[in-house]
Structure 1
Amino acid sequence: MKSNLVMTVLGPDRPGLVQSLSSVVADHGGNWLESRMARMAGQFAGILRVECPETEAEGLVAALKTLEKDGLSIQFAREQAAEAPTRQTVSIDVVGNDRPGIVRQLAAAISGAGGNVEELVTGLESAAMSGHPIFRASGTVALPEGAAVEAIVTAIEKLSPDLSVEVK
């Protein structure tokens, strides 16, 4: 039987950090299934999902915890395999002027239209002509089967006339 662990890792970035994590996973018969990792303000931030034999799960967690001596903070959760409801997913790309609270507004618009944020990457870009900060968000939104994709677009566009929304 297999055990799936979802974990977050946060700590000072350094060369070899991912190699250390992946070596511990492999040493316990684990398989690194998926991850998202980034360097932000000198910190490593990652979320990952690994699978290992059930008999190795506790040993894997204990071995990963030993990396905390290097300044890492690691949180674990066992993956709960539940029957997923039927849904459709869409990719979104939102661009507009940056302002405080824009992510909160975007998340509220998506949720209010019945969507669930599955993945979201946000950042700032420099406007081509003026150089002022432009907000960009790209990600995946899940909608209940049969829900109107246009509801997401309408909800986001109602936030501000400067927002451009593309859904695929």
Structure 2
Amino acid sequence: MTTRVLISFFCDDRPGVVEQLSGLISEHDGNWLDSQLSRLGGRFAGVLQAQIPNSQHAALSEALSELESVGITTSLTDAGDPVSDILSTQRVTLLGPDRPGIVRELTRALRSAGFNVRSLETAVETAPMSGEPLFRAEARIELDNNSRLDELEWKLDAMAEAMTLEIDLIAD
């Protein structure tokens, strides 16, 4: 019997980290499934989903904790059951002058209209002409029977106007 687990990690950015993690999963008869890995500042961080035999859970957990000695902090947890009541997904893109509170306002609008964030990527870039900080975000959101698309559109429009942002809602 197998189980799906989530492994999160962070460490100094250097070559070989993914190889170490994938090696441990393979050594414990596991299969690397999904992952989101990224360098943030000078650190490398990520979360991955793997399928492992139930009999290997404790041994993999122990092996992952031993990575602390080489500077890789890890956490292992059960992946839980997949969500099955999702009707569809949408994509929200956002672009505008960087300022505190953009992510808070975006996620507040999503939650209040009944949407769940499936993924969120953000970055601060330099605007080409002015050199000012420019905030960019892309979120994939899930619609279910409780989601209110018209309410979300209204909230995003109000947010765009108040914060001088370009916000687009696109069906996937």
> How high is the TM-score relative to the length of structure 1?
0.92
Q: Residue 103 of structure 2 aligns with which residue?
A: 103
For residues 156 and 145 of structure 1, do their structure 2 counterparts lie closer, same or farther at Cα, with a shift above 3 Å needed? same
RMSD over aligned Cα atoms: 1.6
Report whether the alignment pairs 1:163 with 2:165: yes
How far is 1:138 from its partner? 0.4
How far is 1:45 from its partner? 0.6
CA distance in 2 between counterparts of 1:83 and 1:159 reads 29
Q: Is the 8 A contact 1:153 1:165 kept in 2?
A: no
CA distance in 2 between counterparts of 1:83 and 1:102 reads 28
CA distance in 2 between counterparts of 1:167 and 1:160 reads 12
Q: Residue 40 of structure 1 aligns with which residue?
A: 40
How far is 1:85 from its partner? 2.2
Identical positions, percent? 33
1:72-111 deviation digits (Å, cap 9, x = unpaired): 2111211221663243211111112110111111111111
How far is 1:62 from its partner? 1.2
CA distance in 1 between counterparts of 2:93 and 2:100 reads 19
Deviates more, 1:20-29 or 1:6-15: 6-15
Query: How do 1:79-118 and structure 2 match up within 5 A?
Result: 79-81=79-81, 84-118=84-118
Q: Is the 8 A contact 1:157 1:163 kept in 2?
A: no
Report whether the alignment pairs 1:119 with 2:85: no
Task: For residue 99 of structure 1, give the secondary structure of its aligned residue in structure 2.
Answer: coil
Unaligned runs of 5+ in 2: none
Report whether the alignment pairs 1:67 with 2:72: no
Unaligned runs of 5+ in 1: none
